[in-house]
A and B are shown apart, each in its own frame.
Chain A
Amino acid sequence: RKEVEQDPGPFNVPEGATVAFNCTYSNSASQSFFWYRQDCRKEPKLLMSVYSSGNEDGRFTAQLNRASQYISLLIRDSKLSDSATYLCVVNMVGSGTYKYIFGTGTRLKVLA
């Protein structure tokens, strides 16, 4: 099993739709979680951190489910500009290691 798994998509949704992605992780000792956005051939950019209680930033909501070991990202009222690949990132705690594990990403296409 991969340490961090995401559905590669693509998720094709119309403008204005609500879409959700999940990301599962294998290491129960994981402590920090993030969602990044990556546009084609560009660098990953932090979208939001994921907190235990869940958090929201405008149209974006992130949730953490430790019991089932997954995080989720919900995008409401999708815009054309939301089209990108969304990377899930998990920070593993280990003996002296500082490991950020990246998922391979979920591709979103918002259609006009």
Chain B
Amino acid sequence: NAGVTQTPKFRVLKTGQSMTLLCAQDMNHEYMYWYRQDPGMGLRLIHYSVGEGTTAKGEVPDGYNVSRLKKQNFLLGLESAAPSQTSVYFCASGGGTGFSNQPQHFGDGTRLSIL
């Protein structure tokens, strides 16, 4: 019962480097999300997708790009990493419109440090 799987679990980058975080879900969910969580702050939505081939900006999208080429995968890219992007990144799937009362299910996170 994999649920939502994130890779990698940990990564250290130098400023200016690029990388891609992968999120995979096996629950056939339409909606997928990328969040970041920083100390003392709630989860903040970076980007989300409401279906294969769609993406949309969340609350803090700057410096990130995403792609949803396959329904089960949602990729988060950092083109030129900055120290301000040091954070824990969580992917989630599930949920929907406010009327659906469907919760989100989270991966176990990627801890990213930018030096």
A contact set with B: CB distance below 8 Å: 4, 29-32, 34, 41-46, 49, 51, 87, 89, 91-94, 97-105
Contact = CB atoms under 8 A, between A and B. Distances in A.
Given A43-B90, A91-B95, A98-B95, A103 B101 contact: no
A-B pairs with lowest CB-CB distance, top 9: A93-B98, A31-B98, A102-B42, A43-B106, A102-B43, A104-B42, A91-B98, A32-B101, A46-B103
15 contacts: A31-B98, A32-B98, A32-B99, A44-B43, A44-B90, A44-B106, A46-B104, A92-B98, A98-B48, A98-B95, A98-B96, A100-B45, A100-B95, A102-B42, A102-B43
B108 A43 contact: yes
Q: A-side binding surface: helix, strand, loop or mixed?
A: strand
Contact of A99 (B45, B88, B105, B106): B45
B50 A34 contact: no
Contacts of B107: 43
Interface centre among B43, B105, B108, B109 (most CB of A within 10 A): B43
Interface in B89-115: 90, 95-109, 111
B41 interface: yes
Interface residues of B, number: 29
A87 B42 CA distance: 8
A98 B109 contact: no
Given A41-B88, A43-B90, A43-B108, A34 B103 contact: yes
Contact of A93 (B42, B95, B99, B102): B99
B4 to A, nearest CB: 8
Given A91-B97, A103-B42, 11 more contacts: A31-B101, A32-B99, A32-B101, A46-B103, A91-B98, A93-B97, A97-B56, A98-B48, A98-B95, A100-B95, A102-B43
